[in-house]
Chain A
Amino acid sequence: MADKKPLAAGRFALYAVLVFLALLFLMPVYVMAVNSLKPLEEIRNGNLLALPQLWTSEPWATAWSTAQIGVQPTGLKPYFINSFLIVIPAVVLSALIGALNGYILTQFKFRGANALFAAMLFSVFIPYQVVLIPMAKTLGFLGLAGTISGLVFVNVIYGIGFTTLFFRNYYAAFPQELVRSARMDGAGFFGVLLRILLPSSGPMIVVTVIWQFTNIWNEFLFGASFSDFSSFPLTVALNNLVNSSTGVKEYNVHFAGAFIAAIPTLVVYMVSGKYFVRGLMAGSVKG
């Protein structure tokens, strides 16, 4: 037992460090939560860390439905909906295109497949700023400038590099014989993808959805550049809310707004994170 002491002490130190780091990470969340539930006067009187003396949900209601964002006092609600209208099709389309690309790049060994993949991979490293002007031109040409569809288009294009990378690497490790077998059994080009590959891609689909959802939901630059008042995504609306130069700065409303903006990504992580782990476990038992 005696030589267990230093081990226990080591454990204690380890947990102390971990708890400290966890608190450090949770601090901003705590500050946001606490201050979004206070009246404005309490914030002005100082002490951001104190719990509210008077609990109120008023800032949340304001941020959601009555805060001044554009010309109208609409709150974040319409922009929240805009973001969903952008994110859902963009995630689905980019994941499907990524799966299709991964399927083609791994199952049909054509000349230049690797070069093409390298080029697609390179698109992952292109900074957003570089493509702003060409993209604006393209959207104008397609008649999609300032629309939700335009933002879906931009985010799909920008996401293909990542989703292709994900699915290509997943399908490269996929047993070749399954695909050959399906082809002999009479499955066509899309038959193999839809009936064999996609149903076996659970974990990869979850990874792609988490990645794409988070990226597109949090995306700001394209949203700010390619939208107008009717098609602002939530990130741009939140920025407008916080940066509005008229009147008093309603910090409690800002905190509530920021929290609202963060909720969907949190939910995606919590819900699909579980399926993600489960999917990995199911795949790890050799089948």
Chain B
Amino acid sequence: MASLDLINIHKSFGATQVLHDISIGMADGEFLVLVGPSGCGKSTLMNIIAGLEEPSGGLVRLGDKDITHAGPADRNISMVFQSYALYPNMTVAKNIEFPLQMRKVDSSIRAERVQSVAKLLQIEHLLERRPRQLSGGQRQRVAIGRALAREPQLYLFDEPLSNLDAQLRLDMRTEIKKLHQRLGSTIVYVTHDQIEAMTLATRIAVMKGGVMQQLGTPHEVYNRPANLFVAGFMGSPRMNLVRARLTANGDVLSLEIQAGDRRRVAIALPPQPAALKAYVGQDVIAGIRAEAIFMANGEAVPEGKSHVVDARIEVIEPTGADTLVVLNLGGHEFTARLEPDLVLNQGQEGKFVIDLSKLVCFDPATEKLIA
């Protein structure tokens, strides 16, 4: 196991720049997830780590060794591919053995390693089969097994779950997390699925258009998104984002929301960071997560930390575990995640509580978090 440092990585194909100055430092044992929409450069970045592509500029360091220009075979990095990339002409055992064989590991050690990996992943009964005789989940296990057998310093996972059906995907996600906890290995994992990113990562790098938008723990990325893109991309349902006017009444700041024929809503805020004061009299983009909006149940709400508003229920979407409700609040649509047992009617007017400790504000011009 080892640490990985990406220092000022650039990559361009001809005139198009696909990676802009990416720097990430990973400690030993970290699970880093690169997440972003397709075309954001996350796979290119992974290929650069793997040595399958050369960066146009910057350094890749594994442990304390500079591997920027080392070939993929000389890096001691294993990769699990999206299509599993199992060699169709070899049995499962041969597939797992292949990287060891290529590295001229002694045959008795190879056999031992194949056995221990197969046991770990519970694929012992599949060792003599060929890849085409396996199901998707089994292939996935074999691909992981092949990566494990070599005991590399770093593992790369390139969207390993996206070819599996929904249920299996959840199971394998848990398996991968368990594996990481058990082996303490350093892992870089690429996905476009923000839930996978949240559940697996010790840190997440959100990317868009070849630029790293934010690097942080899942908690940071979810609760303090660095900009509007991250706020909208991470979390399902999306964070509610609305343009609001910031006003000041003495020391108390308020957000005013109004659109269409609905009554204007003013939300008095708890004490805010000094940076926000500079926006008094101007518009900001306010963001609030769906789970930070509750239905008022008549109990007194702690003033300052939260705020009661009137809103109309437009759409009700029960998911079983909870019910998503689209509210009309001051003419804007907000999604709220409510208790599943509430009796709700479409068109119903009601009082809702907003937990203001979860509120974030963004600059409408730069789209950056105001902190």
Residues of A within 8 A of B (CB): 175, 177-178, 180-188, 191, 195-196, 199-200, 285-287
User: Bound state CA distance, A195 and B52, in angstroms?
Assistant: 19
Q: In the bound complex, do residue A180 and residue B88 qualify as a contact, i.e. CB atoms below 8 Å apart?
A: no
Q: State which of A175, A199, A200 has its C-beta within 8 Å of the C-beta of B85.
A: A175
| Beta-carbon contact of B146 and A185 below 8 Å | yes
Determine if A186 and B85 form an interchain contact, defined as CB atoms under 8 angstroms apart.
no
A211 to B88, CA, bound (A): 26
Q: Are A181 and B85 in contact (CB under 8 A)?
A: yes
Q: Is the interface of A mostly helix, strand, loop or mixed?
A: helix
> What is the 8 Å Cβ interface bit string for chain B, positions 126-159, against chain A (1 contact, 0 not)?
0000111000000000000010001000000000
B227 at interface by CB-CB < 8 Å: no
> Which residue in B52, B83, B103, B132 is a CB contact (below 8 Å) of A186?
B103
Which residues between 216 and 249 of chain B lie within 8 Å of chain A, taking CB atoms? Answer: none
Residues of A within 8 A of B50 (CB): 180, 184
Binds A, one of B33-41, B73-81, B266-274, B279-287: B73-81
The distance in angstroms between the C-alpha atoms of A285 and B131, with both chains bound, is 12
- B103 A200 Cβ-Cβ under 8 A: no
- List, in ascending order, chain A residues with CB within 8 A of B71's CB: 183
A184, B52: Cβ atoms closer than 8 Å? yes
Beyond A187-B73, A188-B73, A200-B89, whether A181 also contacts B102 by CB under 8 A is no
Q: For residue B146, which residues in chain A have a CB less than 8 angstroms away from its CB?
A: 185
**Most chain B beta-carbon contacts within 10 A, residue among A180, A185, A191, A196:** A185
Residues of B within 8 A of A287 (CB): 88, 130-132
**Chain A CB within 8 A of B87 CB:** yes
Is there an interface contact between A191 and B88, defined as CB atoms closer than 8 Å? no
**B-side interface size class:** 20 to 34
Which residue of chain A has its CB nearest to the CB of B134? A287
Q: Is the CB of A184 within 8 A of B89?
A: no
Minimal beta-carbon separation of B293 from chain A (angstroms): 44
Residues in A neighbouring B103, C-beta threshold 8 A: 186
Write the chain A residue with the least CB distance to B98: A185
The reply to whether the CB of B202 lies closer than 8 angstroms to some CB of chain A is: no
Measured CB to CB, the residues of B under 8 A from A are 50-52, 71-73, 75, 77-79, 81-83, 85, 87-89, 98-99, 102-103, 130-132, 146, 150
CB-based contact B87/A182 at 8 Å: yes
Contact of B102 among A175, A186, A199 (CB under 8 A): A186
**When chains A and B are docked, how far (Å) is the Cα of A191 from the Cα of B71?**
14
Residue from B79, B82, B83, B87 within 8 A of A184 (CB atoms): B79
The minimal Cβ–Cβ distance linking A282 to chain B, given in whole angstroms, is: 9
Identify which of A181, A187, A195, A200 contacts B81 (C-beta below 8 A).
Answer: A181
For B130, the chain A residues whose CB sits under 8 A away are 287
Q: Is the CB of B102 within 8 A of A187?
A: yes
- Return chain B residues, CB-CB under 8 Å to A184: 50-52, 72-73, 75, 77-79, 99
Which residue in A175, A183, A286 is a CB contact (below 8 Å) of B73?
A: A183
Once the chains bind, are A177 and B89 in contact (CB under 8 Å)?
no
Whole-angstrom distance between the alpha carbons of A282 and B312 in the complex?
Answer: 61
| Chain B residue at smallest Cβ distance from A178 | B85
Residue in B closest to A286 when the chains form the complex, CB atoms: B132
Residue of B52, B83, B88 touching A183 (CB-CB under 8 A) = B52
Residue of B75, B88, B103 with highest tally of chain A CB at under 10 A: B88
Known: A175-B85, A184-B52, A287-B88. 13 other contacts (CB 8 A): A177-B81, A178-B85, A178-B87, A180-B52, A180-B72, A180-B81, A181-B79, A181-B81, A183-B52, A183-B73, A184-B72, A184-B78, A200-B87
